[in-house]
Amino acid sequence: MKKLLRMGVIGCARIAERYMIPAIKSADHTCLVAVASRSKTKAEKFAKTFGCEPVYGYENIISRKDIDAVYMPVPPSLHEELAIESLRAGKHVLCEKPFTTGFSESKRIVDEARKRGLLVMENYMFVHHPQHSFVKDMIAGGEIGEIRLFKGAFGFPPLSKSDIRYKNNLGGGALLDAGGYLIRAARLFLGNDLKCIGASLSFDKSLGVDIYGAAMFKNNADQAAQVSFGFDNYYQCNYRIWGSRGAIFVKRAFSIPPQMAPEITLEQQDLIKTFTLPPANHFQIMLDFFAEEVERRNNYESHYSSILEQARLVDCVKRQTNQSNEGEN
């Protein structure tokens, strides 16, 4: 790397405070320049905590000339407008998941990025954790034979009703939040030719958002994925890949703290073996990857395609749910 990627943070969300800003400061190829908030007090608090400049108003950080890229942990409903403004100002964009609330919004951002030759990425940081490469290596080595089924679960007990995940106008809902992780994980192992063949979303009418759900996908090789997710659940954060001669179970798959040593279990006939891997900071790994991709200045089409494929499948789950509901009426 010739120089550090100078980053600005748009929004003072909890994930930024706990994980992403510390990772920006500790990653090898990034540095923190400024943090913006619509609250002057909050911007100043974050700036003091993390040793950077406070900026009042999102537009004032986007217009800065000393920033190469922005990280956006604001509510999903704000992503489209802020991402496009950032791209038009010549900034690369790392956008917190979900990238947007729908395919059409995601496509408008991607079209703008493609036109300007800038990188946009959706921050599914778990994909960069070494435990998933370990699983891929086991599969490539034939440990479980041919994949038959990916089965994943990500859900947690109810949060405070003031949480943005419960606010429909901000892009809340279990599918966009927790469900997106499982869709991304299914794509990681089964590829990008998945089709949603069934789905169910359960809504809290008083909140106006889905609070739990499930979906089933299939690829062109007839490999299936079953996923379950929710905000009103006993905590689960795992996946299991079932093959023709064995299975792999990942105990803590998606939100794994940097200090935690992941456990992966291989099951075969008359064999159960658990591997404990070294801890890894997937937030930091993701940021270094993002910075390296910017520095390479290669074709960013693979990242554009990943964003659109993710958005397409999320929309497919919504359509399948609507069709199922119509069939019951």
Catalytic sites, residue numbers: 97
Strand 236-243 with 224-230, pairing:
unpaired
CA separation for the pair 192, 169 (Å, rounded): 30
CA separation for the pair 288, 22 (Å, rounded): 13
Strand 69-72 with 92-96, pairing:
parallel
CA separation for the pair 33, 90 (Å, rounded): 16
By three-state DSSP, how is residue 273 classified? strand
Question: In this structure, are residues 216 and 225 in contact, taking their beta carbons and an 8 Å threshold?
Answer: yes
Region of residue 215 (left: phi > 0; alpha: psi -120 to 50; beta: else): beta
Residues in Cβ contact with 248 at an 8 Å cutoff, skipping those fewer than 6 apart: 135, 138, 139, 143, 144, 240, 241, 264, 265, 266, 267
Residues in Cβ contact with 62 at an 8 Å cutoff, skipping those fewer than 6 apart: 8, 10, 70, 82, 85, 86, 89, 91
Residue ranges in 252-300 assigned as alpha helix (H): 282-296
